[in-house]
Amino acid sequence: PNNGKVAKDHFDGKIEFKDVRFAYDEKQEVLKGIDFKVNPGETVAIVGATGAGKSTIISLITRLYDINSGEIFIDDVELKDYELYNLRSHIGVVLQDVFLFHGSIFENLAFGDDSVTLEKIKAGAKEIEVDDFIESLPGGYDYVVSERGSSISLGQRQLLSFLRAYLSDPKILILDEATSSIDHESEKLIQRATEKITKNRTSIIIAHRLSTIEKADKIIVMEHGKIVEEGKHLELLDKNGYYSTLYKAQLRHEIEIEE
């Protein structure tokens, strides 16, 4: 229920989870007492096997679901005290499954917002280095995307989603990286765009790419709904624990793909 009253023009982007528990149904608790803090401007990668509870964290920050117990704060205000529309206006979300409708690239990026002009879109595309890819399409920004974007590749759809989030200039960015293998060219562009888009804003990334994980300010490692390790990439490798096992498995997997 949207009963919060707090509305802010500006977020600093500090996020805190305190003993958060959550279950989609009575049977199984998905998050079992989660505690973590993200400072303004930090990039935090959340890693773990499928079903560890990573994506649930996204749903809770955007209040698609409310927690069963514990507390979530943004800028020291409890999440449920924010007016819902105001809360969501400060959070940009890039999901794996990119929603595009039947319309031009421009229409998909402007998303009905009159303040988003073609000039603004072109400037943003240049900043995160996706302009060449868009301009290489027949008609460039007028290129018509079919329903759900099936006329362009998965990697290209992700790039458009990055640009859409970048244009809204959120203080908090949540990024759910695509697990499916993406063509090599898009992969490189996505890597660069990730670096550009996460700069100077709080970013939480459900990470699958090694490059993203290695550069994160902090890595949160989840297993069965709990945080089992937390730290920087090299610190966690030194521990030779669960993270190290996950990382090495992914490294092997990437080498196989490269070959």
**Residue whose pair of structure tokens reads 């069963």 in the numeric block:** 68
pLDDT of residue 201: 96
DSSP state of 82: B
Q: For the chain, percent helix, then strand, then coil, each to nearest 5?
A: 40, 25, 35
Mean pLDDT of the chain: 90
Q: Which two tokens stand for residue 214?
A: 């290695």
Which residues are bridge partners to 48 per DSSP?
222
Q: Which of 45-59, 92-106, 245-259 has the lowest mean pLDDT?
A: 245-259
Q: Which of 8-22, 31-45, 171-185, 206-220 has the lowest mean pLDDT?
A: 171-185
User: Quick check: 77 pLDDT over 80?
Assistant: yes
Q: Which residues contact 9 (CB under 8 A, 6 or more apart)?
A: none
Which residues are bridge partners to 93 per DSSP?
174
Q: Which residues contact 124 (CB under 8 A, 6 or more apart)?
A: 163, 166, 167
Cα of 28 vs its chain's centroid, Å: 25
The pTM (predicted TM-score) of the whole model is: 0.89
Higher pLDDT, 220 or 4: 220
CA distances from 62 to 74, 88, 173 (A): 11, 6, 11
Domain ranges, ordered by start, for the chain: 15-232
Report whether 72 contacts 79 (CB < 8 A). Answer: yes
The mean per-residue pLDDT over the stretch 171-199 comes to 86
CATH class, range 15-232: alpha beta
Give which of 219, 167, 162 is closest to 195, Cα–Cα: 162
Three-class SS string for 141-169?
HHCEECHHHCCCCHHHHHHHHHHHHHHHC
The Cα–Cα gap between 47 and 52 comes to 9
**Residue whose pair of structure tokens reads 């959550």 in the numeric block:** 22
